[in-house]
Amino acid sequence: MTSSKKILAIQGDITQQAVDAIVNAANNSLLGGGGVDRAIHRAAGGQLLEECRRLGGCATGDAKMTKGYRLLAKWVIHAVGPVWRGGNQGEDELLARCYRRSLELAAENDIKSIAFPAISTGIYGFPLERATRIAVTEVKQFLQHSSCIEQVIFVCFDTRTYECYKQVLLELL
């Protein structure tokens, strides 16, 4: 585990985290996809999809919140990251906005602990280190002016992602 008091990275499965909210790397439909999205829907149960159907989708760079149903987490924040298209299509800002919007929703709902996956770095193809720098920078900046969120956990599924987060956290925190 690499940590500051408030921001840490662990290697693990986000569906198993006992936090107030977990963030899902969703797609625009919010109707489920592959990767972490699939794992979250499977662990939460069918009621999650029912609630998601009523949300009418979500724009890239935005986020919407649902209950967590069978998850340990009370809430799921569904954030839609950008598909990587070479870096000149506003991908950096869209990814940054995803983290900001998720944190804003958390703060508005009195969420004290939140876990993020490495949004956009799987199927959506965003370069890992570049995405990690954006994630860490946005979280750090947000926590500087928010007193409500006490802990942010970056949950890294694989060793490569975990090693990258450890290095970037050491550098930027």
Which of 80, 78, 158, 94 lies closest to 130, judged by CA? 94
Amino acid letter for position 105: L
Q: What is the C-alpha to C-alpha distance for residues 101 and 122, in angstroms, rounded to an integer?
A: 20
Q: Which of 28, 41, 4, 20 has the alpha carbon at shortest distance from 106?
A: 20
Q: Mask 28-67, x = binds ligand ADP (CB under 6 A)?
A: ------xxxx-x----------------------------
Q: Is 161 in the site for ligand ADP (CB under 6 A)?
A: yes
Active site residue 92: no
Stretch that binds ligand ADP, among 92-100, 106-114, 117-125, 140-148 (CB under 6 A): 117-125
CA–CA gap between residue 60 and residue 95 (Å, rounded): 9
In this chain, which of 99, 116, 124, 162 binds ligand ADP, going by CB under 6 A? 124
Name the residues that contact ligand ADP, by CB under 6 A: 13-15, 25, 34-37, 39, 81, 117-124, 155, 157-158, 161
The residues carrying an active-site annotation are 37
